[in-house]
Structure 1
Amino acid sequence: MNLDFYPSIEPFKTYMLDVDETHSIYVEECGNPNGEPIVFLHGGPGAGCGKKARRFFDPEYYHIILFDQRGCGRSKPFLSIKNNTIFHLVEDMEKIRKHIGIEKWLLFGGSFGSTLALTYTFHYPEKVKKLFLQGICLSNKSDLLWFFQNGLSEIYPDEFKKFKDFIPPEEQNNLLEAYYKRIHQNKDEVLMKKACKIWSDYELRVMESEMSPINSEIMPHDLSLALIETHYFYNKMHWNDDNYILNNLYKIENIPCSIAHGRLDFNCRLYSAFELVKYLKDFELVIVEGAGHSPFTEKMSKVLIKFLEEYKEKNER
């Protein structure tokens, strides 16, 4: 069983798919056009897809679909938050499925990608064969307070201090709101971009126990991640239910689900994965010792690829 990343591949098809009067989504298809269809759901929201995301999957077996979510990556218009909620992303996925002509597909998502995978499956359970999830993100109030206010601050106090000290003391009791105001509600573009950079750097530095390299320049990725995340998180994911994920799991309790979660994932707590599986009947949960949040580290990627290889071997027979 191959548990290493597959060699780099290029898409056999790329295109822009118009999904409404505002947004056009970048889509790419890789691997075997007649193979088992699987869609990769990136995180953030606002992160976009990279080339390495293609390499989890055996290109001879899987028909690999990747797309950049609204407002980020190669989708247009860049940085647009108009008509940009998780429910819009769900419908974008459905438009992609229909455009390609897929009857049922597999979903593969980590972090916010797991949130999106679950939300799509609540709406279209009959279109999902199986879920492959990593770094479960419930995206509720508890998750947001942990990451942006109290919790992660005790594990990465040095990095959290940089994140907090950008905000005046009188606003530090609600850092999410303070960053939202600076990114969305002011006309100072320099201040807005600086806030986006500090937000993005904080996320990157706490992703793994070994510090990730930080680019000193403000990159497009920094802007899309901060702008779209604050839009989603400040508006409580545009849900009317703080525990939307847990309260809807009864709809998909019988859909098979393989989950990998890093023991040292401080972005999305392992606790969330344990809460999730309480409501599932057909699941596998692997705690990846020594792994953090990123799906691309050696320890985590081997578990995720093992899930995909086992699925392939079971269904090739």
Structure 2
Amino acid sequence: MELKINNLSKTYPNGVRALNDVSLNVPQGMFGLLGPNGAGKSTLMRTIATLQDADSGSIMLDEINVLEDKQAVRERLGYLPQDFGLYPRINAEVMLDHIAQMKGIGKKSERKDLVESLLQKVNLFKDRKKGLGTFSGGMRQRFGIAQALVGSPSLIIVDEPTAGLDPSERNRFYNLLSEIGENTIVILSTHIVEDVNTLCSNMAIICQGEVLMQGQPKEGIAKVQGKIFKKAINKDELDSYRNEYQVISTKLIEGRLSLRIESDTDPANGFEAVPADLEDVYFSNISKKVDPITI
């Protein structure tokens, strides 16, 4: 099973070019789509989910033409958008049953078994009689995954799923997504590097509507390994360092800036070589498009 995106472009009526000739091959398993806010991730996800049209290009899910045969895609799709509405007074059990009916599961006993199984899977069975409006952020996200799993989809899209979750809820969500990704295509769209590092065997980085990198996280790390150096500087020194070095990220620590640069050779001048990680891969690519001080 594979999702193939070729030369996809989208420009909105206000002139914003959200997608610029995007091409990606997404295999079965967890695939991370990493990029800053406004990078074009949500536009791409909505296009794959048949919620909006592209100006040009193609998307194929195995033999299904996603842009032309939308109903066939929807029958195989589970989608958890960044913001999804809930009926606050309806409980989880009733809502999932309703969604199952909408997905064409007509037999009541079959729906009952499915709803119970999904609520157990996302650890919400004990809360099944509670109104959705009483759910915490993590519970809402887990319910969102449950509704996305109705109908045993072969493609699941989750858009910024861990934003706002506390560490324990994020870990529960990681475990749930990892289990789901064993048997289907799961596209995880996020700006949180840790999400991709923890979950995904394949990934892409997108910024300003363009794909800057795609492959395995370990491949990206290997490309910058031995090229990352750090140094603590005063804030008023930043401009001069940016003029002389390829600054990829900065972090304010106790009133001083921890500066990370990318260099093919040892820059000396007090810089210390450090092991590269996926965050360095992300910032290395993004800094070519966006001023690193604003990332």
With structure 1 as the length reference, what TM-score do the two structures score? 0.27
With structure 2 as the length reference, what TM-score do the two structures score? 0.29
Higher helix content, 1 or 2: 1
Larger Rg belongs to:
2
Higher strand content, 1 or 2: 2
